[in-house]
Amino acid sequence: MKLARYGAAGQEKPALVDAAGRLRDLSGHVEDIAGEVLSPGSLARLARLDPDTLPPVEGDVRLGAPVGRVGKFIGVGLNYSDHAAEAGMKLPKDPILFSKATSSIAGPNDDVLLPDYALKADWEVELAVVIGTPARQVSAARALEYVAGYCVCNDLSERAFQLETSGQWLKGKGLDGFGPLGPYLVTPDEAGDVQALDLFLDLNGERTQTGNTSRMVFSVAEIIAETSRYMTLLPGDVITTGTPPGVGMGRKPQRFLRPGDEMRLGVAGLGEQRQRVVRRED
Ligand code: ZN
pLDDT in tens, 183-197: 999 999 999 999 999
Residues with CB under 5 A from ligand 1 (ion): 124, 155, 243
Q: How far is the CA of 239 from the centre of ligand 1 (A)?
A: 10
In angstroms, how far is CA 192 from the centroid of its own chain? 17
* SS3 state of residue 171: helix
The pLDDT value recorded for residue 89 is: 86
Q: How far is the CA of 110 from the centre of ligand 1 (A)?
A: 19
Is residue 282 scored above 90 in pLDDT? no
CB 65 within 8 A of CB 55: no
Is residue 82 scored above 90 in pLDDT? no
Q: How far is the CA of 174 from the centre of ligand 1 (A)?
A: 12
**From CA 190, how far away is CA 188, in angstroms rounded?**
5
Q: How far is the CA of 39 from the centre of ligand 1 (A)?
A: 26
Q: How far is the CA of 58 from the centre of ligand 1 (A)?
A: 35
* SS3 state of residue 122: strand
Q: How far is the CA of 127 from the centre of ligand 1 (A)?
A: 9
The CATH architecture that domain 68-279 belongs to is Alpha-Beta Complex (3.90)
Is residue 221 scored above 90 in pLDDT? yes
**From CA 242, how far away is CA 95, in angstroms rounded?**
10
Is residue 88 scored above 90 in pLDDT? no
CB 264 within 8 A of CB 272: yes
How confident is the model over 104-158, as pLDDT tens digits? Answer: 999 999 999 999 999 999 999 999 999 999 999 999 999 999 999 999 999 999 9
The pLDDT value recorded for residue 86 is: 84
How confident is the model over 135-144, as pLDDT tens digits? Answer: 999 999 999 9
Answer yes or no: pTM beyond 0.95: yes
The pLDDT value recorded for residue 107 is: 98
How confident is the model over 15-43, as pLDDT tens digits? Answer: 999 999 999 999 999 999 999 999 999 99
Instruction: Give start and end residues of each alpha helix (H) in 143-236.
Output: 159-163, 170-173, 188-191, 220-230
Q: Which residue, among 142, 151, 141, 147, has the nearest Cα to 235 in the 3D structure?
A: 147
At residue 135, what are phi and psi to the nearest 5 degrees? Answer: -130, 120
* SS3 state of residue 189: helix
